[in-house]
Amino acid sequence: MNIAVLAKQVPDLVEGLEIDASGKALDPDSLRYILSETDDHALEEALLIKERVGGRVEVFSLEVGEVREALYAALAKGADRAVLAQTEGEVRLDNHTLARIFADLLGRGSYDLVLTGVRAIDDLDGSLGGLLAGYLGLPYVGLVRKVEIASDSATAIVEKEYPGSYAAELEVRLPAVLGIQAAEQPPRYVPVSRLRQVMKTAKVEVQDASLPEVLPVAVERLSQPEEGAGAAMLSGNPEEIARQIVDLLSERRLVG
């Protein structure tokens, strides 16, 4: 079972975001990158599948931010291979571009299953997994929370989430692409000592990929919501605030 995991680096919200002078993009100097949370789950699900049915897990990413550390962490967790795509010129990070780049890279090997996070915080133009599946002509299911490989190793049985805590159990014939919402267990922890050991011995492969001719949807303007815009902010010490809130409720007869 050859599994490919597509991992994306996204801006770390902890560090805050700043819009650059042009107003159309984020200021790259203000950004620090972190592995997209759902991609971390996709990796975890891939590793769980590998533990159950055997096979290989290969992680693909793009040279952005602290991606190497994320790839080493993936290797330390049990991935077999880590590949960084390198392109000439400025890389746009929209999902259509990424999907084309990854489609190119994946085509150089053969994979039964491609897992990636179903949505990242910087997604503007659709889900990476869905786009990739479209380009590769592979079946796709998004918002997956569980993947089980059937005994014939030719199909996967997945659970797709719906609102109201409903889910659909679907059978997908491999090879296929799945958009992971959550792994069956939280992403495992890698002790720092093991990570550092892996960093000394393992290698991250760098592969050239051509920059696709994809015209992304052009952003006119980025803006940030005003602080507290919308809400009427209450102030005072906690006791006063509690009183104000209960006053509000009382006015609307929500409180006796």
- Regarding 27 and contact with other proteins (CB under 8 A), the answer is no
Stretch that binds other proteins, among 57-65, 84-92, 105-113, 211-219 (CB under 8 A): 211-219
User: Is there a contact between 210 and 87 (Cβ–Cβ < 8 Å)?
Assistant: yes
Residue 201 as a binder of other proteins (CB under 8 A): the answer is: no
Binding other proteins (rule: CB under 8 A), the pick from 6, 11, 84, 111 is 11
Q: How far is the CB of 81 from other proteins (least distance, A)?
A: 21
**Cα–Cα distance, 228 to 230 (Å, whole number):** 6
How far is residue 113's CA from residue 54's CA, in Å, rounded to a whole number?
A: 13
Q: Decide: is 225 part of the binding site for other proteins (CB under 8 A).
A: yes
Q: Based on the shown chain and the rule CB under 8 A, indicate whether residue 20 belongs to the binding site for other proteins.
A: no
Task: Rule CB under 8 A: choose which of 64, 134, 202, 212 binds other proteins.
Answer: 134
Instruction: Name the residue nearer to other proteins (CB basis): 89 or 164.
Output: 164
# of chain residues touching other proteins (CB under 8 A): 97
Q: Which residue has the tokens 């991606």?
A: 67
Residue (of 191, 192, 194, 213) closest to 202 by Cα position: 194
Among candidates 2, 1, 86, 77, which has minimal Cα distance to 39? 77
Q: Residue from 5, 43, 82, 172 that binds other proteins (CB under 8 A)?
A: 172
The distance of Cα 74 from the centroid of its chain, to the nearest Å, equals: 14
Instruction: Examine residue 197 and tell whether it contacts other proteins (CB under 8 A).
Output: yes
Query: Does 64 engage in binding with other proteins (CB under 8 A)?
Result: no
Cα R_g (the chain), whole angstroms: 22
Out of 64, 68, 188, 212, which residue is the one contacting other proteins (CB under 8 A)? 188
* Separation of alpha carbons 33 and 206, rounded Å: 19
